[in-house]
Chains A and B, each alone.
Chain A
């Protein structure tokens, strides 16, 4: 799960990671009063999850999702041009993202930019701190061109962050004296936040030093472990469904694992691995999958019905491929779900069904006895081939 920049800033404040003064605003008036508290040199930033905001363009023609202004009136003017408008960046896709909040903050002067992140590293099975003297740029580019400027420190899962590890990183980044102290405090606070909030990643890019000697986190990006959200209701509440594909929001209501894609063959599968493999075989047969959809190992008839409705609600979908390997799951449950869904939503596109496994005969009978027009398939390859051909026909 991702969060907005202003929410990240609030988390930083809670844990004591220093950031420039500022706050969020959802109207021009509020932006004005927030800017007035800062005075001059104020940055106004559109709040969307996507990156590339600075270079983005609003659909009303206004250019740039990040602007630096010199007084409160200018801040209000910029906020008015952003709020309620749709921002398109290289990460949003052409449909863009609606901006309903802006962040108004002190545009601090920068002496030098750094990079600092903590991520859960699956290889070492521990948190790893990644730091670099090259901040404010894409870290993947730094890794490719000047890998010697990136420093890694794995942290023992049970011991936690040790003072020597902080000193080591601080020295590598070239901090000394009071700035080394500030960096140490910042990193300790960031590590505590990472652990206590069950983050899978927290990234500060850039971390900056200012002419008056401060060390500040200028931007932040978070990723939380979805599995741990049950113990962080406050973080779960930061979730912004408007940032997501509405099909995915709908699917989440029924505990369906759905990811929208751009193709036209929808698939409904039980199990994540098989669902991925089904997408792959559609592509292999010359088609394009419209989605990833895992109904899970213990799906109910109701879930299947709802999954079907979500799929059919997507106008891009030109055919449906149902691939079920009913290990323990009863194929007849799936069959009944399909029949129930087709009764509720009139089915006007080809439906290819491949059922295999537990109680498969009863499942096939249920489908055959219903008046649902479907194309049955025996193997996964047969099913994918039939779905692709059904569209071409």
Chain B
């Protein structure tokens, strides 16, 4: 089953004619993803890669193609508006890849999404991959910017705030022969749509997922919340890694949300919460795959 998306999910890309959006839309097509529409205001009627129709608005694209997920590659000044447009068009899921959206914009967007059916993943995230059954996991659903070939279809759920660190974890799993049900990048911004805990609950309920790896980093308290929930509720073996144990306090480590401020959000506190919940914490980033092997017994 996987979570959120599978090989039949129809997706559209907002910002498909930009160089970044276009490049990754092509890679998703190559991966075998059901990319059915693109949206760029003013370019309606054109085709992307000679096959994907482009629309002026998201609601036109949804109406014509039945897309249920939108991937956002729109530049930061316009990304908040793009998310709201997708919500208004009634898609089930919005995956915002864009990095650098002002926090104030995300605050308003999240408030405006209260009570709507649409879920937001991101922003500032690598996206979602549900690997396919073909060679190098071809035929799956790839939304965003993750490299498809590192994946392998299987039973491990992966949730992370980071991009390349997730690839590192996925690659370790794949090399250990552990495939993934779905890999979700929730993004590195302080205000985002979906938390570790939200994804953890989905994995816990997903019959295909048999083990979970959660990758966090300094800043905020979402990892602690997920750990507290997992302690009482999670039925599946879990491993985790927290990046940033050596980060100096008060500095933003690349991600807008990766900051230890006022003594809060430290790696040490997160690791303690995870261990307290009985989660196997990787000793270092090279140990993520092995940590899950240990957790699975």
Contacts and interface: CB of A to CB of B under 8 A. Distances in A.
A157 interface: yes
Interface in B268-297: 283-287
Given A195-B104, A325-B164, A273 B215 contact: yes
Nearest to B283: A284
Interface stretch (A36-44, A103-111, A119-127): A119-127
B248 interface: yes
Nearest to A357: B147
B103 A227 contact: yes
A276 B166 CA distance: 13
A252 interface: no
Contacts of A297: 145, 163-164
A328 interface: yes
A259 B166 CA distance: 22
Chain B interface residue number, banded: 35 or more
A227 B254 contact: no
A123 B197 CA distance: 13
B233 interface: no
A228 interface: yes
B220 A125 contact: no
A380 B247 contact: no
Interface in B240-264: 241, 243-248, 251-258, 262-263
B258 A274 contact: no
Contacts of B150: 327, 357
B108 interface: yes
A169 interface: no
Interface string A176-192: 00000000000000000
A379 to B, nearest CB: 5
Contacts of A327: 126, 145-147, 150, 163-164, 167
Contacts of A381: 284, 286-287
A230 interface: yes
A276 B286 contact: no
Interface string B189-225: 0110000000000000000000000010111110000
Contact of A328 (B108, B147, B171, B190): B147
Contacts of B262: 140
Contacts of A298: 20
Interface in B155-173: 160-168, 171
A240 interface: no
B220 A275 contact: no
Contact of B164 (A198, A231, A273, A289): A273
Nearest to A258: B254
A228 B107 CA distance: 13
Given A156-B111, A273-B161, A280 B285 contact: yes
Nearest to B216: A273
Interface in A268-301: 269-284, 289, 292, 294, 297-298
Contacts of A357: 147, 150, 167, 171
Nearest to B104: A198
A225 interface: yes
Contact of B162 (A226, A271, A284): A271
Contacts of B27: 328
A356 interface: yes
Contact of B285 (A156, A227, A274): A274
Contacts of B112: 158
B246 A283 contact: yes
Given A273-B243, A380-B168, 12 more contacts: A125-B110, A127-B107, A158-B108, A226-B252, A271-B165, A276-B244, A277-B165, A277-B168, A284-B283, A292-B254, A328-B147, A356-B168
Interface of A: 120, 122-123, 125-127, 140, 156-158, 195, 198, 200, 225-228, 230-231, 257, 259, 261, 269-284, 289, 292, 294, 297-298, 325-328, 356-358, 379-382, 384
27 contacts: A120-B190, A123-B221, A126-B111, A198-B104, A230-B77, A231-B77, A270-B164, A271-B165, A273-B160, A273-B162, A273-B166, A273-B255, A273-B258, A275-B254, A276-B258, A280-B246, A280-B284, A292-B247, A292-B253, A294-B254, A327-B150, A357-B147, A379-B286, A380-B284, A381-B286, A381-B287, A384-B286
